[in-house]
Structure 1
Amino acid sequence: MNLRVKKWTTRIFHSCKCATNSSESPATTLTAFFTLCQNDPFAKTLLYSEVPSYYTLNASRKLFERRKRGELVEGQPGIFRGTTIGRLYTDQDECLFLRMLLVNVVSPTSFEQLKIFNSVTHATFRSACQALNLLENDGHWD
């Protein structure tokens, strides 16, 4: 699934719509994932990387929809599992750290929630990864 960090999204304002749209972020695959986690009980059990196996993205509506074909998931009526391969381009560090959080944090509902660990809100995705011990360092040699 594509990743786009919130602060990097492009916003275009038209003079007559500034007051109503200035606080709205454009819909992305990731914000669709957050919405899915808020509304679908089965999705709340999944990591970001697992979602494409069970859902497809309706690109025009920017919403995830359950797969209609594939292998029926035992004990989950109406839920099918497909096989999907995704990719991530790692030329932007914060996207890489965001991805690391998404494959390790179950059912996030926002960018901000991904940065919270042990009741501490971290400034960056990298620092959140460090707090979760997802990054290696040379500390074991000390």
Structure 2
Amino acid sequence: MFTEWMQMNSVNEEARSLTYAEFPTKFVWSKQQKQWRPRKSGKTIGRITYAPPTSGERYYLRMLLNTVRGPQNFEQIWTIDNVMHSTFKSACYALGLLDGDKEWNRTVGNSSST
């Protein structure tokens, strides 16, 4: 489903305007044909499989799939402002989805000193 989403983005202009989570609002997955088809009617809610923060790059990819619209390949998912990042985590930082752990470190530092 995921790679077929990127394939649909390469051939359908409307698809490129949607995030992966929004995609089922306009397209429906055909299990038999293993491809996305334009939705004719009905409402639906898209879901992305949960990935805990401890799952590393899976977690960061999930964050990007809720933000990036219309990628046609993996490189477009982790390219932010014409800079290709080497990891999904780095791309998340570039998009401002992560603030870093400075606040957490301050909290830990303060609690350990008292």
Would the TM-score normalized by the shorter structure come out above 0.5? yes
* 1:68 CA drift (Å): 2.1
Tell me how large the CA RMSD over aligned residues is: 2.1
Q: Secondary structure of the equivalent of 1:57?
A: strand
Paired with 2:8 and 2:32, the residues of 1 have a C-alpha distance of 16
* Counterpart amino acid of residue 48 in structure 1: Y
> Are residues 1:97 and 2:60 paired?
yes
Please give the per-residue CA displacement for 1:62-84, whole angstroms capped at 9, x wherever unaligned: 210111222xxxxxxxxxxx122
**CA offset at residue 98 of structure 1?**
0.9
Corresponding residue for 2:16? 44
Question: 1:16-55 counterparts in 2 under 5 A?
Answer: 29-55=1-27
Note if contact 2:51-2:62 (Cα within 8 Å) is conserved in structure 1.
no
Aligned length in residues:
103
SS of residue paired to 1:41 = coil
More helix by share: 2
Deviations 1:89-114 (A, max 9, x none): 21422122112111111111111111
Gaps of 5+ in 1: 1-28, 71-81
CA deviation digits over 1:106-133, x for unaligned, max 9? 1111111111112221111111111111
> Does structure 1 conserve the Cα–Cα contact (< 8 Å) formed by 2:9 and 2:15?
yes
Is the 8 Å Cα contact of residues 21 and 48 (structure 2) preserved in structure 1?
Answer: no
TM-aligned CA deviation for residue 85 of structure 1: 4.8
SS of 2:29 mapped into structure 1 = strand
Aligned residue in 2 for 1:18? none
Q: Distance in 1 between matches of 2:5 and 2:37?
A: 11
Aligned partner of residue 72 in structure 2, secondary structure: coil
Identity of aligned residues (%): 34
Give 4+ residue runs of structure 1 displaced > 3 Å after superposition: 138-142
Q: What's the counterpart of residue 109 of structure 2?
A: none
TM-score normalised by structure 2 residue count? 0.77
Segments of 5+ residues of structure 2 without an aligned counterpart are 107-114
